[in-house]
Amino acid sequence: MHYDVFNNEIIMQKILIILGIVILVIGLLYPYIKKIGLGQLSGGLIFKSVNSTF
C-alpha cells in the first residue's frame, strides 16, 4: 500500500515539472508566437468606453 502512494507522488511531481517546463517554453517563445498571429484569440470581445477598453 505504501508503494502506491509513493508512486502517485512521483507521477504528480513529473506532471508538475513537465507542466512548468511547457509554461516556461511558451513564455520564452511568446514574442515569436505573437508575430505569426497566434497571440490573439479569434472571437475575442472588445468593450470600449470613454475612459477604458476591455
The answer to whether residues 41 and 34 touch, using CB atoms and an 8 Å cutoff, is no
Q: Is the pTM of this model over 0.75?
A: no
In 3D, which of 39, 40, 44 has the Cα closest to residue 54?
Answer: 44
Q: pLDDT (tens digit, 9 = 90+) per residue, 43-52?
A: 666 777 888 7
Higher pLDDT, 37 or 34: 34
Q: pLDDT (tens digit, 9 = 90+) per residue, 6-36?
A: 778 888 999 999 999 999 998 898 888 778 7
Q: Which domain holds residue 26?
A: 1-54
- The whole-number pLDDT of residue 2 equals 56
Could you give the number of structural domains in the chain? 1
> CA-to-CA distance for 10 and 18, rounded, in angstroms?
12
